[in-house]
Amino acid sequence: MYNIMIVGVGGQGSLLASRVLGAVCISRGYDVKVSEVHGMSQRGGSVVTYVRAGEDVASPMVPEGECDMLISFEALEAYRYLYCLRKGGSVIVSTQEIMPMPVITGAAKYPENIIDKLKSADVNCLAMDAVSLAESAGTAKASNVVLLGAASAMMDVDVEVWYEAIKNNVPEKFVDENLRAFELGRAAAQQKN
């Protein structure tokens, strides 16, 4: 069983990322379940999407402590769900910080040095400025796909399969910039590894 969690802030594009990942996993012949989030929390709330692949997947959600790869579009969200990762699992995190409302109102503090905390945990941490990479690909919105590119560098899947999945899940006019974003993320991860 391979368990992935995609976390972030509602509206950051976790739906697209989960669909691409789902498509990649099924083309490998696995049973796949993907649990999406629609509705209220998409309005800027904390959003968790699960992707599971294996011989026979029962629950659509990844049990805590069994996550192999945590992909986070935002620093605090990676830290929030870090406890779901198994020991030795990987976290791929965008360094973007989005203040949650309790921080904006002063009721809470945004934790400091999150990336350092992730790096000192018992997991592999890959942190990148996904927004800047996406901007250089043509749109800041594609930071989700930058992170998929990084994830692809850690998964044993032919890159063509990823391209196919992106083409099939992104509106035609945005395919090129998304493919560029994917490549930038992939290259960044390969460099760091």
Partner 1 sequence: MDKKLLIGNGAVARGLYEGGCVFVSSYPGTPSTEITEMAAQYDEIYAEWAPNEKVAVESAIGASIAGGRAFAGMKHVGLNVAADPVFTASYSGVNGGLVIAVADDPGMHSSQNEQDSRNYAVASKIPMLEPSDSADCLEFTKKAFEISEKFDVPVYLRLSTRVAHSQSLVELSPRENAGLKEYAKNPQKYVMAPANAKVRRVAVEKRENALREYAETCELNRIEWNDKKIGIITSGVAYEYAREALGDRASYLKLGLVYPMPEKLIRSFAREVEKVYVVEELDDYIESFCRRCGVDVRGKELFSFIGEYTPNMIRKVILGTAPEIPAQADVPVRPPVLCPGCPHRAMFYVFGKMKLNVSGDIGCYTLGASAPLTAMDSTICMGASIGVLHGMNTLRPELAGKSVAVIGDSTFMHSGMTGLLNVVYNQSPSTIIILDNSITAMTGHQQNPATSYTLKMKPAPALDIEGVCRAIGVRRVRSVDPFDIEEVETAIKEELAADEPSVIVAKHPCALLKYVEKKPPLTVDSEKCRNCGMCGKLGCPAIVRTDSGVSIDHTLCAGCGLCAEVCKFGAISREEN
Of 2, 13, 54, 131, the one binding partner 1 (CB under 8 A) is 131
Residues counted in the chain: 193
Q: Which is nearer to partner 1, 64 or 158 (CB)?
A: 64
On the 0-12 / 13-18 / 19+ scale of CB atoms within 10 A, 86 is: middle
Binding characters for partner 1, 36-75, by CB under 8 A (x = yes) = xxxxxxxxxxx----------xxxxx-xxx----------
Closer CB to partner 1, 107 or 172, in the complex: 107
Which residue of 76, 91, 123, 150 would you call a contact of partner 1, by CB under 8 A?
Answer: 76
**Distinct helix (H) and strand (E) counts, the chain:** 8, 6
Given the complex with partner 1, which of 52 and 153 has the nearer CB atom? 52
Q: Can you read off the two tokens belonging to residue 148?
A: 């998929």
Structural tokens at position 162: 């990823």
Phi, psi angles (nearest 5°) of residue 126:
-120, 110
**Dihedral class, residue 106 (left if φ above 0, else alpha if ψ from -120 to 50, else beta):** left
Distance of alpha carbon 80 from alpha carbon 82, whole angstroms: 6
- Closer residue to partner 1 (CB): 32 or 128: 32
Out of 13, 54, 119, 140, point to the residue binding partner 1 (CB under 8 A). Answer: 140
Contact residues for partner 1, defined by CB under 8 A: 9-11, 18-19, 22-23, 26, 31-46, 57-61, 63-65, 76-77, 79-80, 82-83, 96, 98-111, 117, 131, 140
